[in-house]
Structure 1
């Protein structure tokens, strides 16, 4: 049975400034547009995650909400996982490994550089640095979520909002 994992870096957020904690940074207008573009792209390509897990940081969760809205996914069903904020690639691996096995397509919303390192760890792909609101798609053959670890995935694609807009 094939499992599909989508890794999404949060969209463009406000800059770090005095008085605003990193955790509380909000998406700016550009970030909201990027999120909607990528959600529509997923929908147009019939990629329908059945489980959404997001960092609880405001910018990542808002990205998940907007992408989910494009795919008609219930916002209340988005799982917030503290492991996806500041715990490095091992936090992402924990989120994947604890996913229920009845999930066929999992989408994680998180932060750079950890999400890029994690994508490369799973797939051996050389992605560089994921752009804001970009999506990496990785597939796993005949593994449960608990069995997924380094180099067990097949890199399928890396898509950015800019690429999607250029295709339109």
Structure 2
């Protein structure tokens, strides 16, 4: 069995005048959420083997807070996660299927849609993924990552 962990960034500060969305930092509340996500991941023994993350500041800060609790693992900056579609995220997951437990740290609506697509085969089934939310999908088989090949084994949010 392979597992895919989807982690949405925690709450971020609103953009300041002239500040790009890409550069928004976590709020103090978001930092607490990220730390809580790290504790939950550690308690569930879901530490990933590899992490792919968006280059946006809020995702980097979320990941740093989580890994400070769970312990550091292999990390790869993946620019395509920022504003990614479900199809892009499935492609990334498939490209890393050599990893037993992969974590993607990114944004909505891509994360909530890929969770629905992998679980039910349809993106329209998504119900939302709150900031700092964690979805754990168990992927069946050794074949390619495709719609409908996963079971949602855990879902947590702060």
Normalising by structure 2, report the TM-score. Answer: 0.92
1:17 aligned partner: 16
1:140 aligned partner: 139
User: Structure 1, unaligned stretches of length 5 or more?
Assistant: 162-168
2:26 aligned partner: 27
1:164 aligned partner: none
TM-aligned CA deviation for residue 127 of structure 1: 4.4
Measured against aligned partners, the alpha-carbon deviations of 1:26-78 in whole angstroms (never above 9, x if no partner) come to 1111111101111111111111211111011110111111111111115xx32
1:108 aligned partner: 104
User: Are 1:160 and 2:136 matched, yes or no?
Assistant: no
2:119 aligned partner: 123
Please point out which of 84, 87, 92 is paired with 1:90: 87
Normalising by structure 1, report the TM-score. Answer: 0.87
* SS, match of residue 17 in structure 1: coil
Which stretches of structure 1, 4 residues or more, deviate above 4 A after TM superposition?
none
Q: Supply the distance in 1 between the matched residues of 2:25 and 2:72 (Cα, whole angstroms).
A: 21
TM-aligned CA deviation for residue 85 of structure 1: 0.7
* SS, match of residue 78 in structure 1: strand
Q: Supply the distance in 1 between the matched residues of 2:108 and 2:15 (Cα, whole angstroms).
A: 15
Count of aligned pairs: 155
Q: CA RMSD in A?
A: 1.5
TM-aligned CA deviation for residue 100 of structure 1: 5.1
User: Structure 2, unaligned stretches of length 5 or more?
Assistant: none
Q: Supply the distance in 1 between the matched residues of 2:97 and 2:87 (Cα, whole angstroms).
A: 18
Please point out which of 73, 76, 80 is paired with 2:77: 80
